[in-house]
Chains A and B, each alone.
Chain A
Amino acid sequence: MRRYNNRLGIRGWIYAGNYGLERYLYFLHRISGLGLILYLLLHIGVTSARIYGGAAWEQTMSLLSGPAFKLGEYVLMAGAIFHAANGLRLIITELGMCIGTPGRQEYPYVSSVRKQRPLMILIMIVIAVLLLLSGVDFFLV
Chain B
Amino acid sequence: MRESRYWILSLVAAACLVVLLGTHLFLMHLDTLLAYLGMANPDPLDYSAVMARGRSGGWVGAYILLLAFSLYHGLYGLRSVLSEVVSPPGQRMLTWAVIAVGFIAFTWGTYVVIKSSLMGGV
Please give the residue numbers on chain A whose beta carbons come within 8 Å of chain B beta carbons, in ascending order: 9-10, 30, 33-34, 36-37, 40-41, 44, 47-48, 50-51, 54, 57-58, 61, 73, 77, 80, 84, 87-88, 91, 94, 133-134, 136-138, 141
Contacts and interface: CB of A to CB of B under 8 A. Distances in A.
B29 A134 contact: yes
Contact of B54 (A44, A50, A73, A94): A50
Contacts, number: 75
Interface string B82-122: 00010000000000000001000100110010011001001
Of the four ranges (under 10, 10 to 19, 20 to 34, 35 or more), the interface on chain B belongs to 35 or more
Contacts of B75: 37
A69 B85 CA distance: 31
Nearest to A88: B18
A68 B77 CA distance: 28
B1 interface: no
Contacts of A47: 112
Contacts of B65: none
A34 to B, nearest CB: 6
Given A33-B81, A40-B74, A94-B11, 20 more contacts: A10-B85, A33-B77, A34-B78, A36-B74, A37-B75, A37-B77, A41-B105, A47-B112, A51-B112, A51-B116, A54-B47, A54-B122, A58-B47, A80-B21, A84-B18, A84-B21, A88-B18, A133-B30, A137-B29, A141-B32
Contact of A91 (B11, B50, B67, B71): B11
Contacts of A87: 14, 18
8 contacts: A33-B74, A44-B105, A47-B112, A50-B116, A51-B115, A54-B48, A87-B14, A88-B18
Interface of A is mostly: helix
Interface of B: 11, 14-15, 17-18, 21-22, 25, 29-33, 45, 47-48, 50-51, 54, 67, 70-71, 74-75, 77-78, 81, 85, 101, 105, 108-109, 112, 115-116, 119, 122
A137 B32 contact: yes
Nearest to A130: B22
Nearest to A29: B77
Given A41-B105, A51-B112, A73 B29 contact: yes
B29 A77 contact: yes
